């Protein structure tokens, strides 16, 4: 699954407005394990990305989702980090969103965007102490307004004026 970089804190919309970009993006690949472990693997050797599943937004979001759903499964989490760390482009949120988008594909009854946002927000809050403006923009795509109680309101955008995208999920059935 992929999730886009985002811009937030736009003008007077500090912590209220978010916008998804077409590039760059993070790519997360999940492989189901026979145990309940969450193991992080990196596509590239970026030593700044935490490998501890308690400090990486991708694994924290998945762990929150699995705990909430009371599922006893584990994953190898392959991270292809396309968004530079500390770039201000919502990289931690993109990793969380791509991870839960991929995890959602394993569910017999997939969660809604609102439900997925809860788990991305858990990761963002735990790791970066941020609210969900980046995660909401990455999940919904386009421009979003984060309302009361994290109610997300998609905003209209003029075509061609900004680059917008949503998370993309590709499933490889060849195992």
Question: Omega of the bond prior to 24 within 30 degrees of 0, cis?
Answer: yes
pLDDT > 90 in the chain, percent: 53
Q: How confident is the model at residue 64 (pLDDT cuts 50, 70, 90)?
A: very high
Residues 6+ apart with CB under 8 A from 148: none
Highest mean pLDDT among 2-16, 38-52, 96-110: 96-110
Sign for the pseudo-dihedral over CA of 52, 56, 62, 63: positive
3-state secondary structure of 18: strand
**pTM for the structure as a whole:** 0.88
């Amino acid at each position: 699954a992929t999730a886009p970089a985002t811009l937030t804190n736009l003008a007077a919309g500090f912590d209220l407005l978010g916008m998804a970009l077409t590039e760059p993006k993070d790519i997360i690949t999940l492989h189901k394990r026979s145990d309940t472990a969450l193991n992080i693997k990196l596509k590239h050797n970026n030593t700044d990305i935490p490998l501890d599943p308690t400090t990486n937004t991708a694994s924290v979001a998945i762990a929150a989702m699995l705990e909430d759903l009371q599922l006893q499964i584990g994953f190898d989490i392959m991270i292809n980090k396309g968004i530079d760390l500390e770039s201000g482009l919502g990289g931690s949120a993109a990793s969380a969103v791509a991870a839960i988008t991929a995890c959602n594909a394993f569910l017999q009854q997939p969660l809604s965007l609102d439900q997925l946002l809860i788990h991305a927000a858990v990761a963002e809050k735990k790791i970066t102490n941020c609210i969900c403006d980046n995660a909401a923009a990455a999940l919904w795509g386009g421009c979003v307004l984060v309302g009361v109680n994290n109610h997300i309101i998609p905003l209209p955008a003029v075509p061609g004026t900004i680059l917008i995208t949503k998370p993309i999920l590709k499933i490889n059935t060849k195992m």
